[in-house]
Every structure is written in structure tokens, then in C-alpha cells.
Structure 1
Amino acid sequence: MISGLTPVELINRARADLRLGVPVILRDGSHMAVILAAEMATPARLAELQGLGSQLVLALTRHRADTLKARSYDGDLARVLVPADAQVGWVRALADPADDLRHPMKGPLLSERTGTADFHRAALLLTKSAQLLPAALVISLNEPEMVEDAHLTALPIAELTTELARETQLSPVVSARLPMAATKAGRVHIFRPPDGGVEHYAIEIGKPDRAGPVLARLHSACFTGDVLGSLKCDCGPQLQAALTQMGDEGAGVLLYLNQEGRGIGLANKMRAYSLQDQGFDTVEANHRLGFEDDERDFRIGAALLRKMGFHQVRLLTNNPRKVDMLNDHGLRVTERVPLRVGETTENRAYLATKAAKSGHIL
């Protein structure tokens, strides 16, 4: 007999369903709601939801709602009422700010102000964790039997919110020696979470003393900067400078965390870049998409360092938030080591925004 799926397995199935454009059921006791990622809506799926009989709602984060001048009566989100004759184009226009400047008038938008927003909040958490735009169609089910034969993934919102808030636990998979341009004494460690999420990497230089402070960097993946040599950010030069300094000192550890685009994923990062081309800075672009300034989970870095046996670090960073995070999660930062490299004409305004709005010390 094969046992049923665990909450973690259900969440991963739900993420995959949303990315495929398949609805998901959320449960709260005897109450149920069907959700669908707004950016994946099709005319057929939208018609199916509209045919369920209840009021269809589009859940948007407060940042996106503010852009659209929609009322966020729930504080952190808005429940925008979807008109009965709404088409897919209208839904996607509210979810995706790509055409905001060409077509700024989306309203008037009416927001639900009574009842609970628990389903809508959970729907936004789930779409974010699937690296989709944080916008979800939500409809309460007055007659749950209407979807009984649909074989949709169903999960309780209490388990969903608990699991998504839980600190990621990582287990070592393999490590191997890797000579690099920065040093011949390199070793790459691969770590994998048990929840089916992305793997993260640790590049160990030399043989760092576990009893003393290790020169360390938490580096978030940046495909455009690290691989393509983008001039829009300083990520690629920071990666190489950190490895070079560790090679020169003979020891260090660089954590390469797969949290592209400050945790929003490469597709949404490219959406943000497109908005920056329209004149918005990096923080404004994230907000227009519905995201926070920074969606990364730096607890992952602290957990990896502890698992590798380190308890004190000299942290290569310009971001005081990383220092605070490590100090709050079982490590002691004995020194913040500045990493000021890679300024270009193209990224000067970006770096200034990081200093002014995100607290980076440049």
C-alpha cells in the first residue's frame, strides 16, 4: 500500500499545476476555494471559473494594487472583483505591468472589503513560490461537489503557510575538487533540500579553519551578470573578486545561492529589466510587478555555513542585512569586508538605488 502525499509533496504538485495553468484547490476546514495563476489564465479556464457561480476575485499584492489604484482593504493585499464579462486580456493586464504606461487606465477597480482574505493570501504565497507573478484568480466554492471529478490538487492553507515559512533544510549530495582560475585549491559542494526545491552550492577554497572566522560570501545566482557579463549590475565582478580574494588569502567559502533576481526568478527579473527600460528604478520595478524589494531567504546561507561547520565569518558584502541575518541565525560576523567592484556607466543608477533604498554601503 502506497501512502498518501505529504504536505510538501502536495505543495510541489500545486506549484507545477499553477505553472501549467491548471487550477488548484485550497482548503480551510470545510471551506474551499479554487485558485489559478493570473498570468497562466486562458479563455477556457477563465470561463470555467466564472461558471462556478460565486464572485470571482483577483488577488493582488499591496504593491501591485497601489500601482493600479486599487483599494487594499486587507493591508497586505487587494481582492479585486472580476466583472462577469471580464476577458483574459483584462486579467493579465492587471497582473502584468508591461503595458501600464501605454494603457494606464484599468479601472474603476472595486475591491472586496468584507469576509476573510486567508485563501487569497495563501494563493499569493503559492504563486510567488512557483516564481510566477503574484496575482491569482480566487473563487470560493459554495458547492464543493462541482469540482469533485476534476482531480485537482487540494491542500490545506494552514499546512501551506506553515511549510512555506519553514527554514529550508539542506543535505549534502556530493563534493568534488575543482581547480579554478582564482585558485587550484577549490572544491564544490552540492546541497539539496528535501522539499524538491532548487539545489544550492558552496565553493570551498583551500582548507578553512572551522575554529576561526572564515572569509565568506553569500552570492545570489545572477545569470545575466555571472554568465553573460551584464553591465546592468555588479554581480559578475563581485563573484570573481570574492573568489580571487579567497584564493589570495588561501582559504574561504563562497555560497552560490540559487535565488535569481533577488528571489523572483529569471523571467520576473527580465520583466523588471523591461520596466527599468521604461524609467523605473530596480525597487520601483519590483513593486510594480507585485514583489517586495528583496524576496531572498538568507536563512539558507546561515544554514549552509552551520552545516559546513563554520560559526564565525568575515563576510564579504556591502549589504548590512546579510550581516544582521547571519548574526540572528547562529553565526557571528566578526568583520564586514567591503566588496566594491564592477561599477559601470550602465549600472551607476542601479547601485545608487541599492544604497539609497536598500541600505547597501557603497
Structure 2
Amino acid sequence: MRAVHRAVSDLRRGTPVLLDGNGECLVLAAAETVGARGLSDLSGIAVGPAVLLLSLPRAAALLARPVAATAASSVTAEDVPVALRLSPALLAPDSLRRLADPVAEQMLPESPQVVPSPGFAQALSPAAIALAKIGRLLPALVAAPASAAAAARLGLLSVSVADVLAYPLSAAASLTRVAEARVPLAEAPEARIVAFRAADGGIEHLAILVGKPEASGSVAPLCRIHSECFTGDLLGSLRCDCGPQLRGAIARMAAEPSGGVLLYLAQEGRGIGLVNKLRAYTLQDTGLDTLDANRAIGYGADERDFRVAATMLEALGFPRVRVLTNNPDKLAGLAACGIGVEGRVSHLFAANGVNDGYLATKKARFGHLMG
């Protein structure tokens, strides 16, 4: 976990890292952050041509339609990356940022060459995209074959494919309680906040305990899984219903005889992060809905990992819950992780004139139970 966390930090700083797949290696740099020094380091140890790795939804949004169709026909799953061979003119920081960012002005080569498997081991490219997503970066990476020895000479960090792919499970499983305090809330004067941190020292997840859910006896306590939303929860944004859902859940739990537990997860924008959510908002303003905007950036419709919630519930002593939600995926996610889901409690709020389309998309494309 430490190696993955350090590799993510290096990518966010624009420093290349080495991805090691049992001896077959790629040197990687994040297209949105890499500078001239990073590209020089990458070029200095590459033993083959550099390409731009893109997740397939992003490639389909970025490339010209015939090229995207060619790329899509040569792979079998949405999350298999596509590689765009880069000309020397495009191997520059400003050009790469415009290629990576769907909100920026695009700079496409006149005849882009898509190479679904450009001589790289099939296992390495998905792990490279996964590493970018762990860092909440645009899943667009400059990549080239390289040797571990050459990377070591430059002091580049090496991380294994196995560690990257195991990271989500490891991070969830290693969550531990690190702090707890009584925090009276406007909607729930009797409330406590428990902070959880993973072994990699990353961002914390929070559990808000309203009343005394541990004393619910034979009745499974009320539970809400709420992904943080800076714009909705803190600023009162009208684009979503997150703020009303958060405050409404706390008030609903305060009205319960035994209260409830609200898990406030650091999974902004369904797991894509705040910066990418703002990019998605810009794309939504051009006519895309929530799902298609996420895919245009290169992320899936929902990137959240509900193993985090299950680990927190187990640590808090809640093996059974009634879930306050309209999202059937949350019910299935908790059940798949061994939490007993003993019922769903509807959690609906009226549209406000701005978020009408957002709520309609939740129902039509995400399968939320809005009736």
C-alpha cells in the first residue's frame, strides 16, 4: 500500500513512475501533470515509442468517430485501455494536457494511430489506468516500455501491478478507528463522529453516530451511506440533491428511537474526485448527463467502493442494518460484503428546478428507486 500511495503522489507531482509486471515494465507519467523534466526522464529510459493510454470511454469521447469505432471493436470490455501513438509534436506538456482533458481545447493528430495492444503486456495497461484513478487523476497516461535498472538510475519509484490491483481491497480492509468525539449537530444534538484511516495514511472516512444505534437491540439500526459532496453538502449547490439527503438523513435518524449511523465516505463525485466532478459539470453544461460526462472523462458511471462502508460497519459493531437509500447498488454492495441488509428505507427529496434532469438520470440510467 505504501508503494502505491507514493506512486500516486509522484504522478500527481508530474514525476514518472515505473509499473512492474513481473519483470515487464512500463514507465508512466500522468498526462495532466507531467512537465518537461518528467518527459525528459521518461524519454531517457524508454526502450520503445511512447503512447497515450486512455480508458475506452475516454478514447471514444476523444478520438474521431471512425478511430473510436476501430478501438472499440478490438477490445472486449469497457475498462480495457486504448493506446494512441504520439507524434513528437504531441509529446509536450501543453499538448498532453489538452489531449487528456475533455474540457480543454482538443489537439488531435490528423491521423491518430490507435494501438490497443502496443507491444505491452495486457495486464500492465489496466493497472496503469487504475493507478491514475486511485490518484483521482484523469485516466490518461504517457507510457513506454522501460527497464527497472534504468528507472533505478534516475531514482524513479517502482510499484508492482499486483499491488496496484490489490489496493482498493487492501485500503478498505486496513481501515482503523483513529479518533472519536461528541459533536452536537443542528438536526441531531446527540451525535458522535468516528474517524477511520487506512494503513496508507490516505484521506479519512467518517461515521456519524446519531443517538445510540448500538442499543437498537433486535432491530437493525438505520444506516445511510453518503459520499462526500463539497458543492452540495457544504455550499448548498442546486445541481444535486446531496445536501438535502445529508441533512435529511441525520434528521430522520434523530427521530428514530435508537438513532442511526451515517457513513460519510471520501468518495466525491461517485468516486472520481472533486476536480473531475467539476470537469464533468462543465461537460454536463454542454448537454451530457451525469453518466455520460463521467465516461467522457474516462471514469465509469460509478467508481465507489462499498467495501469501505462494510468495513466501517463491522468495526462499529453493526453487522445488520436498514439502509436509507434509493440506490439498489448500495444494498447489493453491502450484502456482497457480508453485511445483513434487513430492509430499505426510501430517501426522496423533491426536485428544485435545477436538478430535475439530474434526478431523472438517476432513475432512468442508474436504476434508482425514485417512486
Structure 2 length as normaliser, TM-score?
A: 0.89
* Structure 1 partner of 2:336: 328
Give yes or no for the alignment of 1:221 onto 2:220.
Answer: no
Equivalent residue in structure 2 for 1:191, among 172, 192, 196:
196
How far residue 57 of structure 1 moved from its aligned partner, in angstroms, is 1.1
* Structure 2 partner of 1:39: 32
Give yes or no for the alignment of 1:151 onto 2:145.
Answer: no
* Structure 2 partner of 1:299: 307
8 Å contact from structure 1 (residues 58, 138) kept in 2: yes
Distance 1:149 1:214, change over 3 A: same
After superposition, what is the alpha-carbon deviation per residue over 1:38-59, rounded to whole angstroms, capped at 9, x for unaligned?
1112234334434545110111
After superposition, what is the alpha-carbon deviation per residue over 1:214-265, rounded to whole angstroms, capped at 9, x for unaligned?
1110011000000000000000000111111111113111111111111111
How far residue 107 of structure 1 moved from its aligned partner, in angstroms, is 4.5
8 Å contact from structure 2 (residues 177, 194) kept in 1: yes
SS in 2 for 1:256: strand
Q: More deviation in 150-159 or 218-227? A: 150-159
Q: What CA distance in whole angstroms lies between the structure 2 residues aligned with 1:158 and 1:206?
A: 42
SS in 2 for 1:313: strand
Q: What CA distance in whole angstroms lies between the structure 2 residues aligned with 1:125 and 1:224?
A: 26
SS in 2 for 1:39: coil
How far residue 205 of structure 1 moved from its aligned partner, in angstroms, is 1.2
8 Å contact from structure 1 (residues 94, 106) kept in 2: no
Q: What CA distance in whole angstroms lies between the structure 1 residues aligned with 2:152 and 2:335?
A: 49
Q: Count the aligned residue pairs.
A: 352
Give yes or no for the alignment of 1:84 onto 2:88.
Answer: yes
Q: What CA distance in whole angstroms lies between the structure 1 residues aligned with 2:109 and 2:359?
A: 33
SS in 2 for 1:352: helix
Give yes or no for the alignment of 1:62 onto 2:67.
Answer: no
Q: What CA distance in whole angstroms lies between the structure 2 residues aligned with 1:303 and 1:17?
A: 28
How far residue 165 of structure 1 moved from its aligned partner, in angstroms, is 4.3
How far residue 278 of structure 1 moved from its aligned partner, in angstroms, is 1.4
Letter in 1 for 2:181: A
* Structure 1 partner of 2:141: 136
Q: What CA distance in whole angstroms lies between the structure 2 residues aligned with 1:359 and 1:56?
A: 40
Q: What CA distance in whole angstroms lies between the structure 2 residues aligned with 1:239 and 1:145?
A: 51
Q: More deviation in 280-289 or 107-116? A: 107-116
8 Å contact from structure 1 (residues 167, 299) kept in 2: no
How far residue 324 of structure 1 moved from its aligned partner, in angstroms, is 1.1
8 Å contact from structure 1 (residues 210, 309) kept in 2: no
Q: What CA distance in whole angstroms lies between the structure 2 residues aligned with 1:60 and 1:151?
A: 26
Distance 1:311 1:145, change over 3 A: closer
SS in 1 for 2:113: coil
Instruction: Please list, as runs of the form range in 1=range in 2, the aligned pairs for 1:1-362 lying within 5 A after superposition.
Output: 8-51=1-44, 52-67=46-61, 68=63, 69-70=67-68, 71-72=71-72, 73-75=74-76, 76-86=80-90, 87-99=92-104, 103=106, 106-114=109-117, 115=119, 116-141=121-146, 144-166=148-170, 168-169=172-173, 170-208=175-213, 209=216, 211-250=218-257, 251-362=259-370
Q: What CA distance in whole angstroms lies between the structure 2 residues aligned with 1:26 and 1:9?
A: 14
Q: What CA distance in whole angstroms lies between the structure 2 residues aligned with 1:319 and 1:148?
A: 47
8 Å contact from structure 1 (residues 319, 360) kept in 2: yes
Q: What CA distance in whole angstroms lies between the structure 2 residues aligned with 1:154 and 1:161?
A: 14
How far residue 167 of structure 1 moved from its aligned partner, in angstroms, is 5.9
Q: What CA distance in whole angstroms lies between the structure 2 residues aligned with 1:288 and 1:271?
A: 10
How far residue 105 of structure 1 moved from its aligned partner, in angstroms, is 5.5
Distance 1:198 1:360, change over 3 A: same
Q: More deviation in 33-42 or 65-74? A: 65-74
Q: What CA distance in whole angstroms lies between the structure 2 residues aligned with 1:305 and 1:110?
A: 48
Q: What CA distance in whole angstroms lies between the structure 2 residues aligned with 1:165 and 1:79?
A: 27
Q: More deviation in 321-330 or 103-112? A: 103-112
8 Å contact from structure 1 (residues 93, 99) kept in 2: yes
Q: What CA distance in whole angstroms lies between the structure 1 residues aligned with 2:221 and 2:302?
A: 26
Structure 1 length as normaliser, TM-score?
A: 0.92
Letter in 1 for 2:6: R
C-alpha RMSD over aligned residues: 1.9
Q: More deviation in 107-116 or 343-352? A: 107-116
| Divergent runs of 4+, >4 A | 103-107
Letter in 2 for 1:65: A
Structure 1 unaligned runs (5+)? 1-7
Letter in 2 for 1:333: V
How far residue 159 of structure 1 moved from its aligned partner, in angstroms, is 2.5
Distance 1:104 1:95, change over 3 A: closer
Q: What CA distance in whole angstroms lies between the structure 2 residues aligned with 1:147 and 1:339?
A: 52
SS in 1 for 2:172: coil
Q: What CA distance in whole angstroms lies between the structure 2 residues aligned with 1:187 and 1:210?
A: 19
Distance 1:247 1:198, change over 3 A: same
How far residue 149 of structure 1 moved from its aligned partner, in angstroms, is 2.2
Q: What CA distance in whole angstroms lies between the structure 1 residues aligned with 2:347 and 2:237?
A: 18
Identity score, percent: 40
Structure 2 unaligned runs (5+)? none
